[in-house]
Amino acid sequence: MTDKASIDFYFEFSSPYGYLASLRIDEIAAKHVRRSVWRPFLLGVVFQITGHSPLTEQPLRGDYAQHDFRRSARLQKAPFMMPEEFPVLSIAAARAFYWLEGRNPAQAKQLAQALYFRIFGEGQNISAPEAVIAVAETLGIDGEELAAALQDPVVKERLKTETQTAIDRGVFGSPFVIVDGEPFWGADRLDQVDAWLETGGW
């Protein structure tokens, strides 16, 4: 089964729906004996192309979004708290992920999960590099090494490349899942992702 294609899970750390999807994606992957590949990217860069703005800043839609975040979280019984400072600056978080992934992929995913929980499970601000490092240290990651990595041009470039790859693959929102070449946008498409894997498509 190891030659089956991965489930590519694109997400922005500042995305509430990305957080909610992150709590389900691995279960869906495991059910279908697939590997999930987590890919944080910078939605702000995508917004420069699409001309979009964060949901919460949009007239009418913003109020609904705030309501829907909480209702969606309750439906899947996920802890949820909007951070007071929003949107979150996710550059440090995403850089930390890619740096760590090069060394320890499993731990990189754990870091992403811990960061998401800090943001939307506890409503805390992780925009500053120090805040990301603090979360990483709870997982036993060396804080000084990570601090240096966050300024490493190679790591910075990696995040740029990954974000560009996401755009090239048609990713325009968070979360965004690509499985067997099929794109699915939104946490509310995960049931379809599940069904697509089950049936091979319709």
| Counts of helices then strands in the chain (DSSP H, E) | 10, 4
Residues 73-92 that bind its own copies (CB under 8 A): 74-75
Is residue 185 a contact residue for its own copies (CB under 8 A)? Answer: yes
Peptide bond into 87 cis (omega under 30): yes
Q: State the minimum distance, in angstroms, from the CB of residue 52 to its own copies.
A: 8
Give ∠ CA 1-100-105 in degrees, rounded to 5. Answer: 10
Is residue 167 a contact residue for its own copies (CB under 8 A)? Answer: yes
Place of tokens 């979009």: 52
Query: Which of 27, 31, 33, 67 touches its own copies by CB under 8 A?
Result: 67
Q: State the minimum distance, in angstroms, from the CB of residue 168 to its own copies.
A: 10
Please name which of 113, 120, 117, 141 lies closest in space to residue 26, comparing C-alpha atoms: 113
User: What is the phi/psi pair of residue 53, to 5°?
Assistant: -130, 165
Is residue 102 a contact residue for its own copies (CB under 8 A)? Answer: no
Is residue 189 a contact residue for its own copies (CB under 8 A)? Answer: yes
If the CB atoms of residues 59 and 140 are measured against its own copies, the closer one turns out to be: 59
Contact assessment for residue 13 and residue 174, using Cβ atoms and an 8 Å cutoff: no
Only one of the segments 10-18, 94-102, 146-154, 185-193 lies at the binding site for its own copies (rule: CB under 8 A); that segment is 185-193
User: If DSSP codes are grouped into helix, strand and coil, which group holds residue 153?
Assistant: helix
Window 111-130: contact mask with its own copies (x via CB under 8 A)? --------------------
Q: State the minimum distance, in angstroms, from the CB of residue 46 to its own copies.
A: 7
Is residue 49 a contact residue for its own copies (CB under 8 A)? Answer: yes
What is the edge-to-edge ordering of all strands in the sheet holding 36-40? 36-40, 7-11, 176-179, 182-185
Give Cα separations from 45 to 20, 86, 103, 156, 160 (angstroms). Answer: 22, 17, 26, 14, 9
Is residue 60 a contact residue for its own copies (CB under 8 A)? Answer: yes
Interface residue list for its own copies (CB under 8 A): 46, 49-52, 58-61, 63-64, 67-68, 71, 74-75, 167, 170-173, 183, 185-186, 188-189, 192, 195, 202
